[in-house]
Amino acid sequence: MSLSDSDREEQNAFRRRIWDRDAAKYDEQIGFCERRILGEGHREWACAHAEGDVLEVAIGTGLNLPHYRADQRVAGIDISGEMLAIARRRATELGRRVELQEGDAHRLPFGDGSFDTVVCTLSLCNIPDTDRALSEMHRVLRPDGRLVLVDHVASTSTPLRWLQKLIEVGSLRFLGDHMTRRPADQLERHGFRITEQERFRAGIVERLVAAKTA
């Protein structure tokens, strides 16, 4: 369900405080989560499916940067200035030019049809209004552009879904993180057609490619 402008601003501010606070330990935390729970290789997969000019939404500390092709133009936005500071250092260490700026996924600071691919990995779960964010991703894509998503979603296992719902009580309150969303269910109404789709780890991880169709 879409949020009001004031609700989005309030929830953005809450998340910005969290990510600014936790930026220095994010890489270690998400690395552990990927190794033990979500599985590895998803970032490489996402970047391998990126074509042409790329926008990464919620680029965070830039963990995906090593996996893009050297000849690709990559831009990234994130709500956290502290996360972006780490991403800039990572880009410098890689010798990679990346256009990084602080921004809101609900109002992407780019013109219509600016990119061939939009990538978002393990982040839509934490963006307050997925409907608004997906609409913006669609807007900035060129005709026939592609959306590449990786995220944790509601499990295909009923006992695990109940466990996710229980965890979600705390994760929403303290981190703003949704455990039981599934962006794939929203794509068609935002003008996307799924062309590739896989689920892993009892269905708690979904990765997909979707084409802009309208």
Q: Return the CATH number of the domain spanning residue range 5-212.
A: 3.40.50.150
212: which residues sit within 8 A by CB, 6+ positions away? 138, 141, 142, 143, 144, 145, 146, 147, 191, 192
Q: What is the pLDDT of residue 131?
A: 96
CA distance 162 to 169: 11
Q: What is the pLDDT of residues 154-192, one digit of tens each?
A: 999 999 999 999 999 999 999 999 999 999 999 999 999
Q: Which two tokens stand for residue 122?
A: 């393990």
CA 185-186-187 angle, to 5 degrees, is 100
Residue 1's pLDDT band, with cuts at 50, 70 and 90, is low
Q: What is the pLDDT of residue 2?
A: 76
Contact indicator for 91, 32 with CB cutoff of 8 Å:
no
CA 49 to mean position of chain CA atoms: 15
CA distance 164 to 109: 34
Mean pLDDT score, 42-71:
97
End-to-end CA distance of the chain: 21
pTM: 0.96
Domain ranges within the chain, ordered by starting residue: 5-212
CA distance 117 to 145: 6
Q: What is the pLDDT of residue 144?
A: 92
Share of the chain above pLDDT 70, in %: 100
Q: What is the pLDDT of residues 69-126, one digit of tens each?
A: 999 999 999 999 999 999 999 999 999 999 999 999 999 999 999 999 999 999 999 9
Q: Which two tokens stand for residue 35?
A: 């190794």
DSSP class of residue 4 equals P
CA distance 206 to 140: 23
For the chain, give the number of residues.
214
